[in-house]
Amino acid sequence: MTSRERVLAVFNGKPYDKIPVINPTSLATVESMRHTKAFFPHAHTDSHAMAALAGAGRDLLGFDSVMPYFSIHLEAAALGCEVDWGKLDRMPQILKAPLLEPDDFVMPVNFFDRKPIKALLQAIKALRKKYGSEVAIIGKVVGPWTLAFHLHGTANLILETNMEPYKVHQILGMLMQTSIEFAHAQFEAGADIITWADHATADLISAKMYEEFLLPVHQQCNRALQKAGPVIFHTCGLVTDRLELFSQAGFEAFHLESRNDVKAAICIADGRMLMTGNINNPRILLNGTAADVYKAVNRAVEGGIQLLSPECALPCWVPNRNLLEIVHAARTQQNK
Ligand SMILES: [Zn+2]
């Protein structure tokens, strides 16, 4: 089986030879940057550097997927946020939100020609050309909740869920079009799967608020993308109290942080979402030994994880040998 066949087999409920190792979020390390000569911050917005650095996930590390969107800031930058693109080992951040009001939320007609957006689409096309049907290509969009933080301001949005809920509904309703259309564009450019980064984390939104504000929006988004391809929902943190609601949203998979118990998560999802992730970043991948990685992979597989992956965007100083060990451990699993 090719890597791509292996990954898609899991999504399609078909038999597969080995448990796939994927990366729904950034796999960029300083080591990979040095190998490919594609460095942060340049590799966040330059299509050649994006494709080169994403390719390291395959060429150097042997992962079954490649993913060229390393931050969560491309849409924000294209829609008027001032972005500090960070440095070699620091991820970008928003310097200034345009604080758009609902009436201002019109997706620009030239959205797909705006530099960071165009760069990502070109990188996906280049990866598809390079890997053909060998490797699964994962794209990524920022969902309307996180996009609303970026464009309207986090404090504003949280306050308005209480004070002006109609306004929050309006904002999310408008912004979801951007996420849906950008996802479609990435599928068309050659992505097999899309990661949907929408930080419905416990520190920013309660399960009840998720149900009220975001669940209907996510359901609508997933209906719009149903025929286009599978979507992996990424939210950091503890999610046990809201995983039942996430499972009703229509996502094909969930990207799970290691703080959550895999078995419990799989039990709650009850076949409605696949589980990926769960390999701890700071403790295991950044600071652990090969033996620690091997154990973490075993634990995840025993817990029932269906697609192995690091739990979230990697810290850039993760040594590549630990990432190679995920793949090594995964291949061993299947030969048992
Ligand atoms: Zn995360």
Instruction: Say how many Å lie between the CA of residue 235 and the centre of ligand 1.
Output: 6
Instruction: Say how many Å lie between the CA of residue 313 and the centre of ligand 1.
Output: 6
Q: Is the pLDDT of residue 334 over 70?
A: no
Q: Residues with Cβ < 8 Å from 126, sequence gap 6 or more?
A: 47, 48, 51
Q: Give, in order, the Cα–Cα distances in Å from 198 to each of 154, 228, 306.
A: 13, 19, 21
Instruction: Say how many Å lie between the CA of residue 128 and the centre of ligand 1.
Output: 26
Residue 194 has what pLDDT? Answer: 98
| Confidence class for position 311, pLDDT limits 50, 70, 90 | very high
Instruction: Say how many Å lie between the CA of residue 146 and the centre of ligand 1.
Output: 12
Q: What is the mean pLDDT of residues 289-313?
A: 97
pLDDT tens, position by position, 59-117 = 999 999 999 999 999 999 999 999 999 999 999 999 999 988 888 888 899 999 999 99
pLDDT tens, position by position, 163-206 = 999 999 999 999 999 999 999 999 999 999 999 999 999 988 99
User: Side by side, which strands form the sheet with 253-256?
Assistant: 65-66, 136-142, 193-197, 231-234, 253-256, 274-279, 307-310
Instruction: Say how many Å lie between the CA of residue 236 and the centre of ligand 1.
Output: 4
Instruction: Say how many Å lie between the CA of residue 245 and the centre of ligand 1.
Output: 18
b or e along 39-53 (b: 16 or more beta carbons within 10 Å of the residue's beta carbon)?
bbbbbbbbbebbbbb
Instruction: Say how many Å lie between the CA of residue 103 and the centre of ligand 1.
Output: 30
Phi, psi of 136 (to 5 degrees): -75, 135
Instruction: Say how many Å lie between the CA of residue 100 and the centre of ligand 1.
Output: 25
Instruction: Say how many Å lie between the CA of residue 310 and the centre of ligand 1.
Output: 10
Q: Residues with Cβ < 8 Å from 300, sequence gap 6 or more?
A: 262, 278, 279, 308
What is the CATH code of the structural domain delimited by 21-335? 3.20.20.210
Instruction: Say how many Å lie between the CA of residue 306 and the centre of ligand 1.
Output: 19
Instruction: Say how many Å lie between the CA of residue 24 and the centre of ligand 1.
Output: 10
Instruction: Say how many Å lie between the CA of residue 197 and the centre of ligand 1.
Output: 8
Instruction: Say how many Å lie between the CA of residue 112 and the centre of ligand 1.
Output: 25
Instruction: Say how many Å lie between the CA of residue 336 and the centre of ligand 1.
Output: 32
Instruction: Say how many Å lie between the CA of residue 150 and the centre of ligand 1.
Output: 16
Q: Is the pLDDT of residue 335 over 50?
A: no
The closest of 237, 170, 164 to 203, measured between CA atoms, is 237
Residue 174 has what pLDDT? Answer: 94
Instruction: Say how many Å lie between the CA of residue 335 and the centre of ligand 1.
Output: 31
Query: Residue ranges of the domains in the chain?
Result: 21-335
Instruction: Say how many Å lie between the CA of residue 251 and the centre of ligand 1.
Output: 17
What number of other Cβ atoms are within 10 A of residue 323's Cβ? 27
Instruction: Say how many Å lie between the CA of residue 312 and the centre of ligand 1.
Output: 4
With 0-12 / 13-18 / 19 or more C-beta atoms within 10 angstroms meaning exposed / middle / buried, residue 249 is buried
Residue 100 has what pLDDT? Answer: 86
Structure tokens given for 139:
């794209």
Q: Is the pLDDT of residue 307 over 70?
A: yes
